Structure 1
Amino acid sequence: MARDQSDPTPIESRDELVAWFAQGEKPDSEFRIGTEHEKFPFYEHDHAPVPYEGPRGIGALLSGLQARVGWEPILDGEHIIGLFDPHGGGAISIEPGGQFELSGAPLETLHETDAELRAHLDAARSVAGPLGIGFLGLGHSPGWTRAETPVMPKQRYKIMARYMPKVGGRGLDMMFRTCTVQVNLDFAGEADMVRKMRVGLSLQPVATALFANSPFTEGRPNGLLTTRGDIWRDTDGDRTGLLPFVFEPGMGYERYTDWALDVPMYFVKRGDTYHDVAGASFRDLLAGRLPQLPGERATISDWANHLSTLFPDVRLKRYIEMRGADAGPRPMLNALPALWVGLLYDGEALNDAEALVAGWTQEERQALRDGVPKTALATPFRKGTVRDIARQMVDIAKEGLRRRARLDGEGRDETGFIEPIEIIASTGRTRAETLLALYRERWGESIDPLFDTQTL
């Protein structure tokens, strides 16, 4: 997550909230790709997590990176908590447990996304190396207890950490011990948004299976292939999940607005201060009757910030966020945007993806979401398994990328970026299963080699 918004323009009505989404509409020619990914910093000498404080901490890492890339600092009080490119590029932020995130710029092709990722990792490693810090690409921290995990000095995270245990059993694990890769994609209009939301939510569990890469907790296998995927099943039912209403007649900007209005708030930001209003209603803020801030009225930034605290598997803002995948090594970080760009940015591919999920029931979608954390591609579905769907999904996406025909300087299209998950879909063997085999057969049932072999 990059910066919280600070637009003080007042909001007078629900209609303005609805219109806010519509302002994200773009013609196909202006569709862009925004990739975000997280990674775990760790000390190379003992594999311990990296705290914020100290000359070799996260704060020092951010300050060093600021000097390296020349981006502007993002501050929370006196603490540097991120960086942003003042020329409209990306941003770097830290998640609650120190997870280091790149929020990429909106780019036209996957080739540009790959170049951005390479440049970011080169810069991050050049600063982290002298500090003895490495970066681990997994969906869940494999060794550290929650008590051992550092806490970053961000006001919004303190509010979330107090609230999470009231609404789910795994919210703190989500905050402090998970990492993801996601892609943000555009829509042409309301109907296009609805189509992409429905396809995305239907196939998100399949993506979760393809990217399963978190089979360890506190040094041991935990019986899951994507621990991150399982954690999201018990985080906060009000703001997570597969959004059944998206598949109902009448879905559109208004319906999503009404759902968002009914999700309890976390905070209201005024100036540099985050006011804890956890559990309060945005409807009350809109009407100027929020008990914690009497007379305070909603602003554009309040709405944008509130939407950033909703965590469904596919999230609507002024773009659509695909949120179902574990983080991984660099090829997997590129494969995630390749999958969804191929599916959703080519008209024929989108038609084929709609046909693939046509007739699925909400019960079937939920059964997939509940099953894949443990069995991933082997999860039963109708007369086959998730692997059968995954192979079709990847084939459709690859053809979509081929038809996009966005070439690099050497004349290569974007299909190469999808190859890592093409192999996974073909073999039925996830990265998590490969890691488990290494753990049992070569690593002497130790996770220490993870920190040497799975670094970014």
Structure 2
Amino acid sequence: MSTREASSADEPVIEGIDQLVAPMIGGEKPKADWRIGTEHEKLVYKRSDHRAPSYDEPCGIRDLLMNLREFGWEPIEENGKIIAMKGGDGTVSLEPAGQLELSGAPLETLHETCNETGRHLAQVKEIGEKCGVGYLGLGMWPDKTRDELPIMPKGRYKIMMEHMPKVGNLGLDMMLRTCTIQVNLDYSSEADMVQKFRVGLALQPLATALFANSPFTEGKPNGYLSYRSHIWSDTDPHRTGMLPFVFEDGFGYERWAEYMLDVPMYFVFRDGKYIDAAGQSFRDFLKGELPALPGERPTASDWWDHLSTAFPEVRLKSFLEMRGADGGPWSRICALPALWVGLLYDQGALDAAWQLVKDWSMEEREKLRGDAPKLALDAPLPGGSGTMQDLGKEVLEIARSGLASRAMLNASGDNETGYLETLDEIVKTGKVPAQRLLDAYHGDWAGDVSHVYKYSF
């Protein structure tokens, strides 16, 4: 989730729709300037007993962050607490229960992205060795109850945690127990954004299937392959889901702004503090009638904050976020941006991907979204045209062609297609990561999920 720093005190207030769509219009870039921003989270545990460390304890989460200074990172504070570190590779921040996230810098190639990931993992592993800490690349804590997890000292998290139980049954699980990989991508125009949004949204269930990696809850199989994905179906219906309006005629920046105006607020940030506005209306804020701040009207920073509080399968800010994948190890962190860059950053590949999904009805898209967390690559496609595994083969070929067309070479002369190899193996076998974990659980692990800690970074 976003890490907030103070903004200018003299920002103009928002007067109309032009300012509401300005972040999206401002995100337009010529193709030569398109970049790749990769975000990935990991679970942090003490090697001695596998518990999740607290923020304040010696060699706890705060100390992990502060130790990044030896690699040139600088702290970001909120109310005197270190809540993130910033540096040349982006920002290292905290999720609500201490999951550690790298929000990577915007980079030109997948080679740079994978190198960035490697540097980050090497740094946190070196710190972890000193502190007796390890990291798990999974989509969800395999063995922890909510009560066993610490809470990080970020103001927005306190507000969200109090609000979540009012709007869904699994929102606290989303905050405390899950991890994801995401990629942020650019667009050149409103029309380009719309096509990429539609392809990304329609194919998000495939990403969920390929990266499914959360089959355990509190030490036992939970009946899902991506329980993390299932959690989003009962978190908050006002700010999640497959967004039918994205596929309707006329979708664009203004329609997205209208959607965001209808997403209930969480907070307003003033003087370094988060003010609780959970459930209140940004439309009222525009009129100066927000109960949390009567008489005040929003600035561009308030709108930008609000844009970060919707959690659909694909999200638009000044870029598009692909949000459907479980957390995983290094190879899959590199594979997710490879998949989406291959599909969305080459026009021929983008058109081919749209041809695969353009005729699906909204009901069929929703069914695929509902099937993917349980069935993964065995989920049936719309119209009885095969399974998600069959779709995966076609989509990976399209992505490979898109990456080959980009012709972005590393020092050895290799293009970017190699980053898809881990997904090729998954599609070839039809067995997603969660199924391999379940095989081990029912086999060599003899029902003891603690063996999963052998798979740490």
Question: Secondary structure in 2 aligned to 1:118?
Answer: helix
The aligned runs of 1:143-222 (5 Å cut-off) are 143-222=143-222
Residue 24 of structure 2 aligns with which residue?
Answer: 21
- Equivalent of residue 78 in structure 1, options 73, 77, 80: 80
**RMSD value over aligned CA atoms?**
1.0
How many angstroms does 1:278 deviate by? 0.3
How many angstroms does 1:19 deviate by? 2.1
Residue 399 of structure 2 aligns with which residue?
Answer: 397
One-letter code of the match for 1:157?
Y
Residue 416 of structure 1 aligns with which residue?
Answer: 418
Question: Secondary structure in 1 aligned to 2:77?
Answer: strand
Q: Quick one: distance in 2 between partners of 1:3 and 1:235?
A: 21
The percent identity for this pair of structures is 54
Residue 388 of structure 2 aligns with which residue?
Answer: 386
Question: Secondary structure in 2 aligned to 1:52?
Answer: coil
Residue 434 of structure 2 aligns with which residue?
Answer: 432
Query: Contact 1:407/1:413 (CA < 8 Å) preserved in 2?
Result: yes
Q: Quick one: distance in 1 between partners of 2:219 and 2:116?
A: 33
Question: Secondary structure in 1 aligned to 2:57?
Answer: coil
Question: Secondary structure in 2 aligned to 1:265?
Answer: coil
Residue 311 of structure 1 aligns with which residue?
Answer: 311
Residue 49 of structure 1 aligns with which residue?
Answer: 52
How many angstroms does 1:2 deviate by? 4.1
Residue 68 of structure 1 aligns with which residue?
Answer: 70
TM-score, normalized by length of structure 1? 0.98
Query: Contact 2:19/2:300 (CA < 8 Å) preserved in 1?
Result: no
Segments of 4+ in structure 1 off by > 3 A?
5-8
Question: Secondary structure in 2 aligned to 1:448?
Answer: helix
Query: Contact 2:2/2:308 (CA < 8 Å) preserved in 1?
Result: no
Residue 452 of structure 1 aligns with which residue?
Answer: 454
The aligned runs of 1:354-373 (5 Å cut-off) are 354-373=354-373
How many angstroms does 1:164 deviate by? 0.5
Count the aligned residue pairs.
Answer: 452
Residue 326 of structure 2 aligns with which residue?
Answer: 326
Q: Deviations over 1:319-352 (max 9, x none)?
A: 0000000010100000000000000001110010
Q: Quick one: distance in 1 between partners of 2:133 and 2:17?
A: 47
Residue 40 of structure 1 aligns with which residue?
Answer: 43
Question: Secondary structure in 2 aligned to 1:184?
Answer: strand
Residue 237 of structure 1 aligns with which residue?
Answer: 237
Q: Deviations over 1:137-186 (max 9, x none)?
A: 00010010011011111110000000011111100000000000000000
One-letter code of the match for 2:72?
G
How many angstroms does 1:270 deviate by? 0.6
One-letter code of the match for 1:348?
G
One-letter code of the match for 1:393?
V
Question: Secondary structure in 1 aligned to 2:206?
Answer: helix
Instruction: Between 104-113 and 291-300, report the one with greater CA deviation.
Output: 291-300
How many angstroms does 1:129 deviate by? 1.3
Query: Contact 2:164/2:236 (CA < 8 Å) preserved in 1?
Result: yes
Query: Contact 2:211/2:432 (CA < 8 Å) preserved in 1?
Result: yes
Query: Contact 1:5/1:304 (CA < 8 Å) preserved in 2?
Result: no
Question: Secondary structure in 1 aligned to 2:38?
Answer: strand
How many angstroms does 1:115 deviate by? 0.7
One-letter code of the match for 1:18?
V
How many angstroms does 1:5 deviate by? 5.2
Q: Quick one: distance in 1 between partners of 2:171 and 2:262?
A: 19
Q: Quick one: distance in 1 between partners of 2:3 and 2:179?
A: 18
How many angstroms does 1:233 deviate by? 0.7
